[in-house]
Amino acid sequence: MNDVAPKSVTSARPTTTRMFENELLERFSRIHPITPFVVYLPVMATVLYRVWARHDIGLLPEIGVIVGGLFFWTLAEYGLHRSIFHWTKDTAFGRRFHFLAHGVHHDFPNDGDRLVMPLLTSVPLAFLFYAGFYLVFGGVRLAEPFFVGFAVGYLTYDGTHYAVHHFKQTTRLGKWVKRHHMLHHHADHSGGFGVSSPIWDIVFGTMPQVKKLAVTKKS
């Protein structure tokens, strides 16, 4: 496998590229945007049924824990995007890791097959987060409704990310969210790490700056 990003498979104004020489890995690096919903909605429904069947938490506390999981997703989304997806190191491994993790999306932002997280990435992460919640909460009683809220946030992120890249936004909120993300892509790679919510960009002072890249290029 090469240490640098492979050349585009098309010539004029390409919208996609190969990520892997291996055909199987290349195939699984692409995903239809509906796939996460098809996979995770039944999982979430099953987990919710397990919570209801145990009768070990009341309705209002259950809703509160689900909302807590959703809120925690916004922090995880921000942290993963800022610390992992935009981690860079000027080595062969660092360049390759960045390209595979997120650089390919910045190079080819309108590639419709890579706007939601592939299952080869999201499924292991789902297991890791579920295990983490289980350990933190000491069992399934709170971990499972928290995980459901977390998964709701994840699906919101995937849907929002696809929508801002592929659909014209007609509402004021939709236009604002799209502008926030497009600024991250085209004006300030060091800001705008929240995709479905800007809350942590506001908290940590990383709202994207319109002229930041232009100033950097001049200096």
Query: What is the pLDDT, as a whole number, of residue 187?
Result: 87
Dihedral sign from CA coordinates of 186, 191, 193, 196: negative
pTM of the predicted structure, to 2 decimals: 0.86
Q: Cα–Cα distances in Å, from 45 out to 72, 123, 133, 198?
A: 20, 16, 18, 28
Mean pLDDT for each 10-residue chunk of the chain (219 residues)?
44 75 90 96 97 92 97 96 90 88 86 89 96 97 98 97 92 92 89 92 92 48
Q: What are the percentages of helix, strand and coil residues in the chain, rounded to 5?
A: 65, 0, 35
How do the domains of the chain map onto residue ranges? 33-171
Contact (CB, 8 A) for 157 and 196: yes
Which of helix, strand or coil describes residue 16?
coil
Query: What is the pLDDT, as a whole number, of residue 11?
Result: 44
Of 90, 32, 68, 59, nearest to 147 by C-alpha is: 68
Taking the alpha carbons at both ends of the chain, their separation in whole angstroms is 36
